[in-house]
Protein backbone atom coordinates (compact mmCIF):
# COMPACT_ATOMS: atom_id res chain seq x y z
CA UNK A 1 0.00 0.00 0.00
CA UNK A 2 2.80 2.45 0.83
CA UNK A 3 4.44 2.05 -2.59
CA UNK A 4 1.04 2.44 -4.31
CA UNK A 5 0.42 5.69 -2.41
CA UNK A 6 3.87 7.04 -3.35
CA UNK A 7 3.25 6.09 -7.01
CA UNK A 8 -0.10 7.95 -6.89
CA UNK A 9 1.74 11.09 -5.70
CA UNK A 10 4.31 10.83 -8.49
CA UNK A 11 1.61 10.42 -11.16
CA UNK A 12 -0.47 13.29 -9.74
CA UNK A 13 2.50 15.68 -9.76
CA UNK A 14 3.53 14.71 -13.26
CA UNK A 15 0.04 15.04 -14.76
CA UNK A 16 -1.18 18.14 -12.94
CA UNK A 17 1.94 20.25 -12.41
CA UNK A 18 4.34 19.19 -15.16
CA UNK A 19 1.93 18.29 -17.97
CA UNK A 20 -0.66 20.93 -16.92
CA UNK A 21 -3.46 18.36 -17.25
CA UNK A 22 -6.13 20.01 -15.09
CA UNK A 23 -8.64 17.27 -15.97
CA UNK A 24 -6.41 14.88 -14.00
CA UNK A 25 -7.29 16.67 -10.75
CA UNK A 26 -10.50 14.64 -10.49
CA UNK A 27 -8.56 11.45 -11.24
CA UNK A 28 -6.25 11.89 -8.25
CA UNK A 29 -8.27 13.95 -5.74
CA UNK A 30 -11.49 12.94 -3.97
CA UNK A 31 -14.55 15.10 -4.58
CA UNK A 32 -14.61 16.00 -0.87
CA UNK A 33 -10.85 16.78 -0.72
CA UNK A 34 -9.77 19.39 1.84
CA UNK A 35 -6.58 21.48 1.75
CA UNK A 36 -4.85 23.11 4.74
CA UNK A 37 -4.12 25.88 3.71
CA UNK A 38 -5.11 26.82 0.18
CA UNK A 39 -3.81 29.61 -2.07
CA UNK A 40 -5.11 32.94 -0.67
CA UNK A 41 -8.52 33.78 -2.08
CA UNK A 42 -9.42 30.22 -3.12
CA UNK A 43 -11.67 27.75 -1.31
CA UNK A 44 -10.08 24.88 0.63
CA UNK A 45 -11.84 22.27 -1.54
CA UNK A 46 -11.58 20.61 -4.95
CA UNK A 47 -12.96 23.70 -6.70
CA UNK A 48 -10.25 25.76 -4.99
CA UNK A 49 -7.63 23.25 -6.19
CA UNK A 50 -8.84 23.68 -9.76
CA UNK A 51 -8.84 27.48 -9.43
CA UNK A 52 -5.39 27.72 -7.87
CA UNK A 53 -3.87 25.21 -10.32
CA UNK A 54 -5.31 27.11 -13.28
CA UNK A 55 -4.14 30.49 -11.91
CA UNK A 56 -0.67 29.14 -11.21
CA UNK A 57 -0.41 27.52 -14.66
CA UNK A 58 -1.36 30.79 -16.35
CA UNK A 59 1.09 32.82 -14.27
CA UNK A 60 3.92 30.28 -14.57
CA UNK A 61 3.24 28.31 -17.77
CA UNK A 62 6.67 26.64 -17.87
CA UNK A 63 6.58 25.51 -14.23
CA UNK A 64 8.21 22.18 -13.55
CA UNK A 65 8.00 20.45 -10.19
CA UNK A 66 10.56 17.92 -9.06
CA UNK A 67 9.77 15.60 -6.20
CA UNK A 68 12.98 15.57 -4.17
CA UNK A 69 11.86 13.07 -1.55
CA UNK A 70 8.75 10.99 -0.84
CA UNK A 71 8.05 9.26 2.46
CA UNK A 72 5.00 7.16 3.29
CA UNK A 73 3.56 5.82 6.50
CA UNK A 74 0.05 4.49 7.08
CA UNK A 75 -2.40 6.44 4.92
CA UNK A 76 -0.13 9.50 4.57
CA UNK A 77 2.52 10.50 2.03
CA UNK A 78 4.97 13.36 2.64
CA UNK A 79 6.72 15.02 -0.29
CA UNK A 80 9.54 17.54 -0.41
CA UNK A 81 9.55 19.34 -3.76
CA UNK A 82 11.23 22.07 -5.78
CA UNK A 83 9.44 24.09 -8.46
CA UNK A 84 11.08 26.30 -11.07
CA UNK A 85 9.18 28.62 -13.38
CA UNK A 86 9.12 31.91 -15.24
CA UNK A 87 6.58 34.54 -14.19
CA UNK A 88 4.70 35.11 -17.50
CA UNK A 89 1.23 36.12 -16.25
CA UNK A 90 -0.51 37.87 -13.37
CA UNK A 91 -0.05 36.16 -10.02
CA UNK A 92 -1.77 37.35 -6.84
CA UNK A 93 -2.21 40.79 -8.40
CA UNK A 94 1.40 41.03 -9.57
CA UNK A 95 1.79 41.61 -13.33
CA UNK A 96 4.20 39.38 -15.25
CA UNK A 97 7.85 40.13 -14.49
CA UNK A 98 9.44 37.49 -16.75
CA UNK A 99 11.65 36.57 -13.78
CA UNK A 100 12.69 33.00 -13.09
CA UNK A 101 11.67 31.73 -9.65
CA UNK A 102 12.56 28.67 -7.63
CA UNK A 103 10.51 27.67 -4.62
CA UNK A 104 10.64 24.69 -2.32
CA UNK A 105 7.88 23.16 -0.29
CA UNK A 106 6.64 20.24 1.70
CA UNK A 107 3.22 18.69 1.72
CA UNK A 108 1.54 15.77 3.40
CA UNK A 109 -1.39 14.01 1.74
CA UNK A 110 -3.81 11.56 3.30
CA UNK A 111 -4.94 8.90 0.84
CA UNK A 112 -8.08 6.77 1.03
CA UNK A 113 -9.71 4.62 -1.62
CA UNK A 114 -6.92 5.37 -4.12
CA UNK A 115 -7.45 9.14 -4.00
CA UNK A 116 -5.97 12.08 -2.13
CA UNK A 117 -8.59 13.14 0.43
CA UNK A 118 -6.75 15.71 2.54
CA UNK A 119 -3.60 17.80 2.14
CA UNK A 120 -1.37 19.95 4.32
CA UNK A 121 0.89 22.27 2.32
CA UNK A 122 3.79 24.58 3.02
CA UNK A 123 5.80 26.66 0.57
CA UNK A 124 7.69 29.87 1.19
CA UNK A 125 5.63 32.50 -0.64
CA UNK A 126 7.83 35.24 0.84
CA UNK A 127 10.71 33.68 -1.10
CA UNK A 128 8.64 33.82 -4.31
CA UNK A 129 7.71 37.48 -3.72
CA UNK A 130 11.35 38.36 -3.13
CA UNK A 131 12.40 36.64 -6.36
CA UNK A 132 9.67 38.54 -8.23
CA UNK A 133 11.08 41.77 -6.80
CA UNK A 134 7.90 42.82 -4.96
CA UNK A 135 9.20 42.21 -1.42
CA UNK A 136 12.62 43.18 -0.10
CA UNK A 137 15.00 40.40 0.97
CA UNK A 138 14.89 39.33 4.62
Least confident of 35-49, 73-87, 88-102: 35-49
Per-residue pLDDT at 84: 97
Q: What is the rounded CA–CA span in Å between residue 44 and residue 34?
A: 6
Per-residue pLDDT at 135: 80
Q: Which of 10, 74, 22, 81 is nearest to 46 (CA)?
A: 22
> pTM of the entire structure?
0.87
Provide CATH code, domain 2-132: 3.10.450.50
In degrees and rounded to multiples of 5, residue 101 shows phi and psi of: -125, 150
Local confidence band at 38 (pLDDT 50, 70, 90 cut-offs):
low
Per-residue pLDDT at 138: 64
Least confident of 18-27, 37-46, 52-61, 116-125: 37-46
Contact 72, 84 (CB under 8 A): no
Task: Map out the domains of the chain as residue ranges.
Answer: 2-132
Amino acid sequence: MLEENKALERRAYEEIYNKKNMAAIEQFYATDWVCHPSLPGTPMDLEGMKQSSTLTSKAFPDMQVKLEEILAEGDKVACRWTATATHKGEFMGIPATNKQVTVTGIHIDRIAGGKIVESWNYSDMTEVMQQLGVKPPR
